[in-house]
Amino acid sequence: MHVTAKGQVTIPKNVREELGIKPGTDIDFRENNGRFYIVRITEPTVTGKFNKLRGIATVKMTTDEIMTLTRE
């Protein structure tokens, strides 16, 4: 496999098919004991201080209503 000047490689077709990688698929590289693995990302990774709060809102308000509340 050849690495381009931009650090890009072509994932062989048989590997793409085995992993279910299609155009637009997100992948990641994982390291384990000095070996790297390509994994397909099935759910978006959310990082940051609000990660634990993501998806728990239950209020049915529009964005405009929320903005009005936060500005008062």
Q: Which amino acid is at 5?
A: A
- The pLDDT assigned to 13 comes to 94
- The pLDDT assigned to 47 comes to 65
Task: Please give the average per-residue pLDDT across 56-71, as a whole number.
Answer: 82
d(CA 14, CA 28): 18
Predicted TM-score (pTM) of the model is: 0.48
d(CA 15, CA 37): 12
Q: Which residues are CB-neighbours of 44 under 8 A, at least 6 positions away?
A: 26
- The pLDDT assigned to 44 comes to 62
d(CA 25, CA 19): 10
Tell me the pLDDT tens digit for each residue of 8-62: 999 999 988 988 889 988 888 999 999 999 888 877 666 677 767 777 777 788 8
